[in-house]
Structures are given as C-alpha cells and as structure tokens.
C-alpha cells in the first residue's frame, strides 16, 4: 500500500505564527507523514547498504521562542541519533521539499570524508546530476545548483568541510510547491528513491 506523503498545502504550516501553534500544526499534519517516510526509507537504505538504518523525526525540542522554519526525518546507522554521522534527510521548508545526503557540524568524520571526496572530485563533478543542489548550512534554505559549479567551486566547499569547525556539506534535490502539486504520491516516492540511489556512492565514500 502506498503511504500518504506531503500535500502542496503542507508547505503552509510554516506560515502559522507562534512556537506552540506552529509545532502543533507540524505534529498534526507533518510528523505522521515523516514517520511513514521514515519507516519506508530506513528499510530501503538498509537493503541498499546491508547496514541497519534508523529514522529520526525532528522534534525541535530545544526551541523555546522561535518556531521552526523547516522540519525533516533523518536516516542514520545509529539508533540514538544522526547528527554525529553522515546521514540522509527528507523534509520541508516553506519554499520547498528537500532530499539530502550530507554531514553537519557535529559529525567527527568531516575531515576523513572531505579527503575521500577530494580524491574523487572529478567523479563527483561528473556524476552528480545537474539538477542537484549543494548546501553548506542546513539551517538556511539557500543552495548552489550543481550545474553552475566549476570543479574549483566544488573543491573549495569540500576543503571547507575539512578546515572549518562549523562547516557542513549536504547535497540532493529541492522540489518547489508548484512542482510538488503536479506530482502523484507514487512519483514523489520514486523521486526519493532515485535521489537516494544517486547519493549512495557518496555514502560509500564516507565508509570506505
């Protein structure tokens, strides 16, 4: 049975004012869908990698005043968390849905991973699909489109991952609300799967 994924109206949850009010809307409308996606794609990633993947729905528990501007489910091989590991994400901002693989600032593998990426720099430049995007800060929606990057640009982002303590690097796709409204459930699930398939070689580089 196909799970119920996001609707185009789900993006509107981030227009709700107030921390409690927005969190209530996220928990009611978004979290059940993230849980369903988590179950399905933790199983998918486990089969693809022969490792046990677990999913983690963002709780935003540290927020005391400002409501979240995005929310997500993350996938890692640690049952207790994901921030300390290379991981996958599926989530929403008010402006787009996203599917990512990456490392954020808490991950201690950043230096080793950056070196592995640099060794395969030309392969990354060639094999990452042109419509994919790169993010250097998971807390901001701004990204760089892969097809606009020169090899030197990509190299600098990867080197930064190794040399800057708070550096992050994520790569994947964005889907706008307009694109989303034209997609069926099945098309969105297929898009997640194909995106993860394109990103799995990067995960393999992190674990060689």
Return all residues near 126 (Cβ < 8 A) that are at least 6 apart: none
pLDDT (0 to 100) of residue 60: 86
From the first residue on, what is the mean pLDDT of each consecutive set of 10 residues in the chain (208 residues)? 80 94 94 96 98 95 84 97 96 96 94 96 96 95 95 97 95 94 92 98 91
Q: How far apart are CA 64 and CA 181, in angstroms?
A: 33
pLDDT (0 to 100) of residue 94: 94
pLDDT (0 to 100) of residue 100: 98
| Exposure of 100 in the CB half-sphere (CA atoms within 13 A) | 29
Residue-range domain boundaries for the chain: 8-206
What is the torsion angle, in degrees rounded to the nearest 10, for the CA atoms of residue 42, residue 174, residue 141 and residue 146?
Answer: 110
Q: How far apart are CA 128 and CA 150, in angstroms?
A: 13
pLDDT (0 to 100) of residue 63: 78
The CATH number that domain 8-206 falls under is: 3.30.930.20
pLDDT (0 to 100) of residue 65: 81
Q: Tell me the chain's radius of gyration from C-alpha atoms.
A: 17
Q: Does an H or E element contain 98, and which?
A: strand 97-103
What pTM did the predictor assign?
0.95
pLDDT (0 to 100) of residue 1: 52
Residue 47, Cα to own-chain centre: how many angstroms? 19
């Amino acid at each position: 049975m196909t799970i119920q994924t996001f609707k185009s109206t789900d993006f509107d949850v981030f227009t709700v004012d107030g921390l409690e009010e927005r969190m209530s809307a996220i928990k009611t409308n978004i979290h059940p869908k993230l849980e369903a996606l988590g179950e399905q794609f933790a199983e998918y990633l486990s089969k693809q990698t022969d490792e046990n993947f677990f999913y983690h729905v963002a709780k935003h528990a540290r927020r005391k005043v400002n409501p979240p501007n995005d929310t997500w489910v993350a996938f890692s091989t640690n049952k207790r968390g994901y921030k300390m590991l290379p991981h996958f994400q599926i989530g929403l901002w008010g402006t787009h849905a996203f599917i990512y693989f990456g490392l954020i600032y808490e991950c201690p593998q950043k230096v080793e991973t950056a070196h592995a990426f640099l060794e395969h720099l030309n392969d990354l430049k060639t094999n990452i699909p042109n419509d994919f995007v790169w993010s250097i800060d998971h807390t901001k929606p701004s990204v760089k489109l892969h097809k606009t990057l020169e090899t030197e640009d990509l190299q600098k982002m990867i080197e930064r991952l190794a040399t800057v303590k708070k550096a992050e690097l994520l790569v994947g796709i964005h889907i706008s609300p307009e694109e989303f409204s034209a997609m069926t459930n099945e098309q969105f699930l297929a898009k997640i799967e194909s995106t993860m398939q394109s990103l799995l070689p990067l995960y393999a580089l992190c674990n060689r």
